[in-house]
Structure 1
Amino acid sequence: MINRRFVLTGLAALAGAGILPRSSQAQTASGIINAVEFGLIPGGPDDQTIKLNALLAKASSSGQQIFLPPGAYIASGVQFPAYVNLLGVSGKSRLLFGGKSSLLSAHGSNHVQLNGLVIDGDGRPLGDSVRGLLEASNVARLVLDDCQIVGARKNAVDLFKCGGRIEATRISGASDAAIFAADSTGLEITGNEINDCGNGGILVQRYEQGRDGTIITGNRIGKTRADAGGTGQNGNAINIFRANNVVVSNNVINDSAFSAIRGNSASNLQITGNNCSVSGETAIYSEFAFEGAIIANNLVDGAANGISMVNFDSGGRLGTCSGNLVRNLSTKGPYPGTFGIGISVEADISVTGNVVENAPLYGIQLGWGAYMRNVIATGNIIRTSGEGVYVSVVEGVGSAIISDNIIQGSRNGGIVGHSWSDVTVKDLTQKSARIYPNLTVERNVIN
């Protein structure tokens, strides 16, 4: 049996050296449970699930924190009770999946907190009914802090109706998504590093559209693939689906098979201050049945399309697109389609103060065929594009104001009227604009 005084002295030394989180330092002297004293063996060759589940139940009843010393602990089917506070030494304390259906799950817990743990799926397949290496549902507060999650054959973290935060955690090599969160109840995902995931980075969704309020900020996300294929349901670094009132801000995103940030049927969505590079399709998307979106102060460098706020035919409307820098777009996308557009909008949207450079098809696209209403493009700079501004002139479309823009080096026209993809009016700055009383085209500088 290990001497308890020795263990607590060692824990205090770790706390003093800054290895243990500050939140745990006070607990080192007031009843923290050391897993080794309970019979778990760091680096032991056998599955330790039974002992770990028993220890979790004991600590839950007394409200104590469990400390896992450095080493690997093989486990499968770990069931978190009502209260869990599990602490390891960052990068050293490893929960290693033993291959029996699931690794970690929590259902109906009040508080689950994991600090400083490596959660390792070892590339082993999960059971058919298991969705993630760490799976939680109806957890009032889930906290992942300074953890590392690797080798998940499905989602690394799979949440349903959970609140809490995922912070300063490193996730890599998940076969599906790094974080999948459905019907969340006050979730914050902040300051994480996510890399090399098979079908998505961070996915926030609701099974029926409604208020969600998840905050996604300050994450670094790289190399998001779309191994399961499709035309946008996979391959997005951040994907918001049917979840309203979500904030996506100040993330650094690189190398996404489809979008860096994709909002699908997500109303009252804020996408601000993100740095997005090398997106295979549309870098930033607000699409389908959304009402209300703010896309502001983002940087997009390298994508098939830059920013799209579209699908008025499905009810997509109402937003602002301002202060963004969009550059270096391509006409090549992951499937046959129309690419090379800097910014495209359709209904009840103001496009102001953006800079678009090197958009080979259109710098700014206003409307698509019959789908245009109440759009403004003013105070933008468009350089070296195919056409500077595309505007729909199909009979029956709504109003558009195109004013005070600088358009330089547009090879195929400055402000061009279109009927769907066909050019109808080559130069709307001339008298031909008078034919369309719904259009105001004035004070633009084109050279």
Structure 2
Amino acid sequence: MQQAAREGRILQLPSVDLRIDQPIEVPAGLVIQGVAGQTRLIISGETGLNLSGLNAAVLRDLVFSGGRTQISMQAVRSATIANCQFTDALLIAIDAQQSAAVIADCRFERMGDAAIHSMDGLGLTISGCTIDDCGNAGIRIWRSENGRDASIISSNRIQNVDWRGGGNGQNGNAINVFRADEVIIANNHLADCAFTAVRLNGSRDTQVSGNICVGHGEVAIFSEFSFSGSVIANNIVDDAAGGISITNLDVEGRLAVCQGNLVRNIRPRSDVNPDTVPFGIHAEASTAITGNTVTNVPGVGISAGWGPFLDQVLVNGNLVSDTEIGIGVSVVEDSGPVQVSGNLVSNAAVAAVAGLRWDQVAEPDLIANAGNYAHVSVGP
């Protein structure tokens, strides 16, 4: 390995099963090339390959099987992992700490915890991957404290994520971003997760766009806690216990755009989180909810505020149909300003646009009686 790296030669591995009992240290600059689907690295110890402090290491056409962690990356400045397969890790296929890498066109199956876990990353590009059957998460982009991460997660397929670690949302997500800023999540197909397709927790300036989210047990797209600057646009949510939630004004979660999404077929309840009530889109603070289509919701189609947790929300130009309440706006004392205008609501069983005190209808016709609530402005 060392000689191949020094001489700039590709380490070509044949069609063979190679057993790894102790972690192999991969030298800087090494290119390891296998035979696609036929070069198998069978890991019997804790870790298969260790990459640390590397520049321009490349792993291609390898199959990783077994082990606790299959690839460990520490302070890697540049690495490429392409067209590899990862199966049956006790915990994680790729564990990246303070690292940057391109992970492309790989397949992950039967991970005990997660396929890819990044902590304090320097920017991962994850594209064209298929992830199936993970214990707690598909992809996690986490930081020990808020800071720039700049990872790009695009054009992947992630499905069948469980929540073996329990909890009320930290597990069971296809893509989970925690304290990591400036992350792009785009054009992924995310299906059949115990909790959420995309979960943003305390992130800043994050873009979630063009994703298809089908069959999720809690809220399909969640921007929560002290987030700031979430753009959630042009996604499809079909079959979930909740649609899109932009929440937690109580801990300064605010500033978002929710635009051009299609949300439909919301379940009447969540089997994993009994606190989840059915809704299409919910937002609390400094959020524009515009141009969305919401249909078939056994609850509130679009919800602005929860109790006094409402401040500067715009609900404009949305199409809402087949709900119990089309648009619900909090009218609890100390609620902040909200504007509702230009929406088309049809087939609302209880009320088209209602004022809510928590989960109870206080004003069944908020458009006609908005003058009774100083913080509410309405239009046609």
The bucket for the TM-score relative to the shorter chain is: over 0.9
| Counterparts of 1:157 and 1:186, CA distance in 2 | 14
- Once the two structures are superposed, residues 277-303 of structure 1 have per-residue CA deviations (whole angstroms, 9 ceiling, x without a partner) of 001100001111011010000000000
Q: Could you list the per-position Cα deviations for residues 217-236 of structure 1 after superposition, in whole angstroms to 9, with x for gaps in the alignment?
A: 00011111111111110010
Distance (whole Å) between structure 1 residues aligned to residue 273 and residue 262 of structure 2:
25
Equivalent position amino acid for 1:336 in 2:
P
Task: Name the residue aligned to 1:5.
Answer: none
Residues 1:80 and 2:26 aligned together:
yes
Instruction: Measure the CA separation in 2 of the matches of 1:216 and 1:206.
Output: 16
Aligned residues: 378
Counterpart-to-counterpart distance in 2, 1:176 and 1:372: 37
Distance in 2 (CA, whole Å) between partners of 1:85 and 1:332 is 50
* Alignment-derived partner of residue 260 in structure 2: 323
1:100: which partner in 2? 45
Cα distance in structure 2, aligned partners of 1:409 and 1:266: 36
Aligned to 2:56: 111
1:211–1:243 CA contact under 8 A, matched in 2: yes
Aligned to 1:246: 183
- Residue 416 of structure 1 aligns with which residue? 354
Residue type of the partner of 1:111?
A
Deviations 1:358-380 (A, max 9, x none): 11110000001111111111110
Match for 2:338 among 392, 400, 404?
A: 400
AA matched with 1:358: N
* Aligned mates of 2:267, 2:352 — CA distance in 1: 19
The structure carrying a bigger strand percent of its residues is 2
The residue aligned with 1:20 is none
Dislocated runs of 4+, deviation >6 Å:
none
SS in 2 for 1:232: coil
Any idea what SS the aligned residue of 1:410 has? strand
Q: Write out aligned runs for 1:68-217 (5 A).
A: 68-76=13-21, 77-97=23-43, 99-121=44-66, 124=67, 126=68, 132-217=69-154
2:10 is aligned with 1:60? no
Unmatched tracts of structure 1, length 5 or more: 1-55, 127-131
Aligned counterparts of 1:304 and 1:423: Cα–Cα separation in 2: 21
In structure 2, runs of 5+ residues without a counterpart are: none
* Identical aligned residues as a percent: 39
Q: CA deviation at 1:438?
A: 1.7
- State yes or no: 1:281 paired with 2:226: no
The alpha carbon displacement at 1:67 in A equals: 0.3
Question: Residues 14-53 of structure 1 correspond to what in structure 2 (within 5 A)?
Answer: none
Tell me the distance in 1 between the aligned counterparts of 2:199 and 2:171. Answer: 10
Matched, 1:345 2:283: yes
TM-score of the two chains, using structure 2 as the length reference:
0.97
The aligned amino acid for 2:358 is W
Higher relative contact order (CA 8 A, sep 6+): 2
- Structure 2 CA distance, aligned partners of 1:344 and 1:69? 54
Give 2:142's aligned amino acid: Q
Greater C-alpha Rg: 1
How many angstroms apart in 2 are the aligned matches of 1:73 and 1:351?
A: 54
Q: Secondary structure at the match of 2:4?
A: helix
Output the amino acid matched with 1:113: V
SS in 1 for 2:282: strand
- Aligned-residue offset at 1:338: 3.1
Bigger helix share: 1
For 1:437 and 1:315, how far apart are their aligned partners in 2? 23
TM-score with structure 1 setting the length: 0.83
**3-state DSSP class of the match of 1:364?**
strand
- The answer to whether the Cα contact below 8 Å between 1:106 and 1:135 also exists between their aligned partners in 2 is yes
Paired letter, 1:368: W
C-alpha separation in 2, matches of 1:64 and 1:162: 24
The SS at the match of 2:196 is coil
Query: Is the Cα contact below 8 Å between 1:391 and 1:418 reproduced in 2?
Result: yes
Q: Secondary structure at the match of 2:169?
A: coil
